[in-house]
Amino acid sequence: MQVQDAMSTTVLTIGPQHSLRQTAQAMKERHVGAAVVVDPDSEGIGIITERDVLGSIATGQDSDAETAGDHLTTDVVYAAPDWTLEQAAQEMIRHGFRHLVVLDGNDVCGIVSMRDLVRVFLASRTADA
């Protein structure tokens, strides 16, 4: 199976100026653990995850004053839709990520999470039984 078979195609996208509280609220409302951060004034995209938000709160930072742009991961590993799920899993493990942004060329076309990989793995095991 390929990443395109497991990824979520509806991606939460926010700007770097969103506060961490706004970011957390948007992720909660959408039931997702990550958001793609797009800054029209910079090259590339970033990702902010629930882990980034928790890290800020754990150190006592103000979630209304801190922005997504201050806490995003810019050293993003991107997956391609035609990657195998094994390739995606290996990259997640290698870099300690639980989410990969999926790019088709330069366009975000999805996001794949560990949860997506486990869901597909379990579904395939059930089908094989």
How is the chain split into domains, by residue range? 3-128
For 23-90, the DSSP string reads: HHHHHHHHT-SEEEEE-TTSSSEEEEEHHHHHHHHHTT--TTTSBHHHH-B-SPPEE-TTSBHHHHHH
3-128 carries CATH number 3.40.50.720: no
Question: How does residue 129 score in pLDDT terms, banded at 50, 70 and 90?
Answer: low
Comparing 18 with 129, the larger pLDDT belongs to 18
Residue 54 has pLDDT above 90, yes or no: yes
Q: Kindly report, residue by residue over 68-113, the tens digit of the pLDDT.
A: 999 988 788 999 999 999 999 999 999 999 999 999 998 999 999 9
